[in-house]
């Protein structure tokens, strides 16, 4: 027997079975393709809505002879029926249903352990597994750039930095900054000589005599899902949430400053705010003519949330395929967590808004090795730094991405270039950051104050050893998706999972699938997706001085981007587990619809409908009611003041008597159309109102249920000062939010 003879080295059936059951890095043994099937097209198309993934051993049989006789369907070998996958899915859904505080979690945890054990069996049987990664480029960076443009950009950047002093945007410093940015980006941008410029393409498009629009079933599906997402994001925008709170009063005053000639770079009011939100709201006020109102802030932030979703789609498509992108787009679009943080009217949605494109171009750049993607990624990292303070963690995410990439085989031949790309991302983001960088050099304490109050001991000492608090915070942050999202009622529904039942179950399944694929393929992207979630949660989990503020859906808001990508990956791979193709012998592999495919899409439709129904209830019923109960009814007080002004011609003699833990006395003025006035008149100063003539109006805290919360002292003072006054109770639409109206005639 000759050991070198290939026929004696062929693997046995036992070797093949061992190969399939092995979970390590040993090479897999595959059944060679039949010579009869050589050259046949692959039956799976990862880019379609019906994307499928057959095992490498699948054989496309071709008839030996060509015949004009009617063809017959020949069933192709496919994955086994995913019975274990169905059981695992059912148990995870049941487990997630039971993981709802304050109900006992023990049963849910036990069911999850059993379900994930069955899921591992389904992975070993190859019933449920993620599709292969996209092919990576093996090219290298040309290391070319426009030296003159790069050199000229430097003095313009230095001048812009110098003229951004005084914390104000001016026409001149903006001009210098934009010139520096354009020269810098232009000096590094790689142009494809075979591809027309953007301007040329726009001219060609506009010069066409006719445009043709092709509508397919896929187009209609995308349109239908987009309309559903739009409904979830803009429905009841005036009513949900119903009332502003103190942060909105500060924001509206900042916008008032802009409209009155103070275009700040950083707004120091209320521990400091970055600029982008303020100018976005100014744009909304200008376009929609909604004034300095709570509605203007909500329109601005809802639009930010909507702009994020196309990038979620593109990121899912880049990581996997179009179907993953569309599923991530839809599930994130209807989800309670990203919907709520974009409706509040504060800076919260800016964190995911700039993270999604920064992550997209970073991942695509490392796959295609195209320098332009790293320039775009740097632009969005820099914009994020000007948006919402938690985005200051994104540069650390970029560092983690490059480290993981360099440590894995996918970077072979590009490790030197990776250092260049990292520098490009950093320098581009720095160019975008120049205005705020100037403010940082002038006011470092103000810029870092908010973060340091949470991370350090500026406001209060740490309640324990920092490492124990941080470990506890990380654990609480990780369990927020499936168990408890914290106690911050202004931007969440306290003490329930951040994800709905369907998304929560699929998220944990997706985590297991990513870990399994990483063990088998050792691809950096799988590890990066998993690590990105806790990294993006760091602005919340680093709240060491105030651990009760963790988890916070707003400070960890960008984490929903990778979370819903993982959810979509799990659902997409489940659909692929059921799909099966049959080939028409005369049509050389045309696909047909099977019972399993129909079942897969019916199951998907049921899961999506279940998710949508629960998220609708969470946002428009539970969150809305809980928020109204927690927020004070400044809108009703504003209406009373506004009516007083219409009847008597002025509001200068209308006041609100402050009371502990009651309404912010600046907010009723927003509803009354007087956004720059604080209506507070403290009890000790009520006597000062006597010298004023004309009718007077006083709004006083009322609580018939709790005498200690009823401002009886102020009422007694008013009755003594104005015995001719009349007292009436304004019944609020929210239980426990009534207030007294003390009217003094002229």
SS3 75: strand
Spatial contact of 439 and 264, defined as CB atoms under 8 Å apart: no
Do the bridges between strand 696-701 and strand 654-656 make them parallel or antiparallel, or are there none, so unpaired?
parallel
Residue ranges per domain, the chain?
Answer: 634-744
Measured between alpha carbons, how far is 85 from 506 in angstroms, rounded to an integer?
12
Spatial contact of 526 and 410, defined as CB atoms under 8 Å apart: no
Question: What does the angle CA 735 – CA 739 – CA 743 come to, to the nearest 5 degrees?
Answer: 150
Tell me the average pLDDT across 491-520: 96
Tell me the average pLDDT across 369-382: 97
Measured between alpha carbons, how far is 185 from 228 in angstroms, rounded to an integer?
38
| pLDDT for 586 | 39
| pLDDT for 712 | 95
Q: Residue 270's closest CA among 687, 728, 664? A: 664
Residue indicated by tokens 């950047």: 157
| pLDDT for 41 | 39
CB-facing half-sphere around the CA of 605: CA atoms within 13 A? 8
- The pLDDT tens digits of the residues spanning 719-739 come to 999 999 999 999 999 999 999
- The pLDDT tens digits of the residues spanning 654-667 come to 999 999 999 999 99
pLDDT band per the 50, 70, 90 thresholds, residue 80: low
Q: Which backbone phi and psi does 73 adopt, to 5 degrees?
A: -80, 135
623 DSSP assignment: I
- The pLDDT tens digits of the residues spanning 215-227 come to 888 899 999 999 9
Residue indicated by tokens 């699938």: 513
pLDDT band per the 50, 70, 90 thresholds, residue 585: very low
- The pLDDT tens digits of the residues spanning 679-735 come to 999 999 999 999 999 999 999 999 988 888 999 999 999 999 999 999 999 999 999
pLDDT band per the 50, 70, 90 thresholds, residue 485: very high
Do the bridges between strand 273-274 and strand 266-267 make them parallel or antiparallel, or are there none, so unpaired?
antiparallel
Q: Which of 232-246, 389-403, 493-507, 567-581 has the lowest mean pLDDT?
A: 567-581
Q: Which of 69-83, 313-327, 601-615 has the lowest mean pLDDT?
A: 69-83
Q: Residue 258's closest CA among 286, 238, 300, 290? A: 286
| pLDDT for 32 | 53
pLDDT band per the 50, 70, 90 thresholds, residue 578: confident
| pLDDT for 605 | 96
Strand (E) or helix (H) holding 742: strand 739-744
Residue count of the chain: 746
E strands in 565-705: 582-584, 654-656, 696-701
pLDDT band per the 50, 70, 90 thresholds, residue 742: very high
DSSP lists the bridge partners of residue 730 as: 739
Please, what sign has the CA dihedral across residues 248, 254, 260, 265? negative
Residue 42 has pLDDT above 80, yes or no: no
77 DSSP assignment: P
pLDDT band per the 50, 70, 90 thresholds, residue 207: confident
Spatial contact of 325 and 46, defined as CB atoms under 8 Å apart: no
Cβ atoms within 10 Å, residue 542: 21
């Amino acid at each position: 027997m000759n050991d070198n003879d290939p026929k004696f080295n062929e693997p046995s059936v036992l070797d093949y079975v061992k190969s399939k059951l092995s979970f390590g890095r040993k090479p897999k043994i595959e059944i060679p393709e039949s010579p009869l099937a050589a050259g046949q097209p692959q039956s799976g198309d990862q880019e379609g809505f019906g994307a499928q993934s057959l095992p490498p051993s699948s054989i496309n049989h071709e008839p030996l002879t060509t015949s004009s006789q009617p063809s017959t369907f020949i069933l192709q070998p496919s994955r086994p029926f995913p019975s274990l996958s169905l059981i695992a899915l059912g148990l995870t859904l049941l487990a997630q249903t039971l993981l709802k505080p304050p109900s006992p979690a023990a049963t849910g945890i036990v069911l999850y352990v059993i379900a994930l054990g069955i899921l591992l069996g389904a992975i070993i049987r190859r019933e449920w597994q993620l599709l292969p990664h996209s092919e990576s480029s093996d090219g290298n960076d040309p290391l070319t750039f426009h030296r003159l443009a790069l050199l000229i950009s430097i003095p313009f950047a230095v001048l812009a930095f110098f003229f951004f002093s005084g914390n104000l945007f001016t026409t001149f410093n903006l001009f210098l900054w934009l010139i520096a940015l354009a020269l810098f980006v232009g000096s590094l941008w790689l142009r494809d000589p075979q591809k027309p410029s953007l301007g040329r393409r726009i001219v060609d498009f506009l010069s066409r005599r006719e445009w043709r629009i092709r509508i397919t079933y896929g187009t209609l599906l995308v349109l239908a899902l987009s309309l559903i997402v739009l409904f979830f994001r803009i429905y009841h925008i005036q009513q949900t949430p119903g009332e502003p709170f103190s942060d909105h009063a500060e924001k509206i005053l900042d916008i008032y400053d802009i409209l009155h000639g103070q275009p700040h770079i950083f707004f120091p009011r209320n521990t400091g705010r970055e600029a982008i939100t303020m100018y976005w709201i100014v744009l909304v006020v200008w376009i929609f003519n909604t004034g300095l109102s709570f509605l203007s802030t909500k329109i601005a932030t809802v639009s930010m949330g909507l702009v994020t979703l196309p990038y979620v789609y593109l990121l899912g498509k880049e990581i996997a395929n179009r179907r993953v992108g569309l599923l991530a787009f839809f599930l994130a679009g209807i989800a309670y967590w990203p919907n709520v943080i974009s409706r509040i009217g504060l800076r919260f949605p800016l964190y995911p808004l700039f993270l999604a494109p920064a992550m997209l171009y970073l991942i695509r750049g490392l796959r295609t090795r195209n320098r332009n993607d790293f320039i775009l990624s740097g632009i969005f990292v820099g914009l994020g730094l000007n948006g919402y303070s938690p985005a200051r963690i994104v540069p650390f995410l970029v560092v983690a991405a490059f480290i993981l990439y360099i440590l894995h085989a996918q970077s072979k031949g590009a490790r030197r270039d990776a250092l260049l790309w990292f520098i490009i991302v950093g320098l581009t983001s720095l160019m975008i950051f120049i205005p705020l960088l100037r403010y940082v050099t002038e006011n470092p304490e103000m810029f870092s104050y908010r973060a340091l109050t949470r991370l350090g001991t500026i406001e209060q000492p740490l309640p324990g050893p920092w490492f124990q608090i941080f470990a506890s915070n990380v654990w609480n942050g990780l369990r927020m998706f499936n168990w408890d999202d914290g106690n911050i009622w202004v931007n969440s529904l306290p003490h329930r999972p951040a994800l709905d039942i369907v998304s929560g179950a699929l998220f944990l399944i997706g985590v297991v699938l990513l870990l399994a694929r990483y063990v088998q393929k050792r691809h950096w992207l799988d590890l990066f997706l998993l690590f990105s979630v806790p990294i993006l949660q760091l602005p919340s989990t680093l709240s060491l001085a105030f651990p009760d503020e963790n988890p916070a859906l707003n400070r960890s808001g960008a984490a929903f981007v990778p979370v819903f990508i993982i959810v979509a990956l799990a659902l997409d791979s489940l659909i692929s587990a059921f799909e099966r193709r049959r080939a028409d012998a005369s049509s050389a592999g045309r696909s047909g619809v099977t019972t399993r495919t129909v079942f897969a899409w019916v199951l998907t439709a049921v899961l999506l409908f279940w998710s949508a129904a629960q998220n609708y209830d969470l946002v428009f019923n539970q969150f809305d009611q809980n928020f109204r109960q927690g927020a004070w009814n400044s809108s009703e007080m504003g209406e009373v003041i506004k009516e007083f002004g219409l009847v008597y011609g002025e509001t200068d003699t209308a006041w609100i008597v402050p009371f502990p833990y009651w309404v912010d006395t600046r907010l009723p003025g927003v509803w009354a159309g007087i956004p720059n006035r604080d209506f507070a008149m403290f009890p000790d100063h009520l006597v000062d109102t006597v010298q004023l003539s004309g009718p007077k109006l006083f709004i006083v805290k009322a609580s018939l249920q709790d005498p200690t919360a009823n401002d009886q002292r102020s009422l007694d003072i008013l009755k003594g000062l104005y015995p001719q006054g009349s007292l009436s109770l304004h019944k609020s639409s929210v239980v426990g939010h009534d207030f007294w109206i003390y009217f003094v005639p002229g």
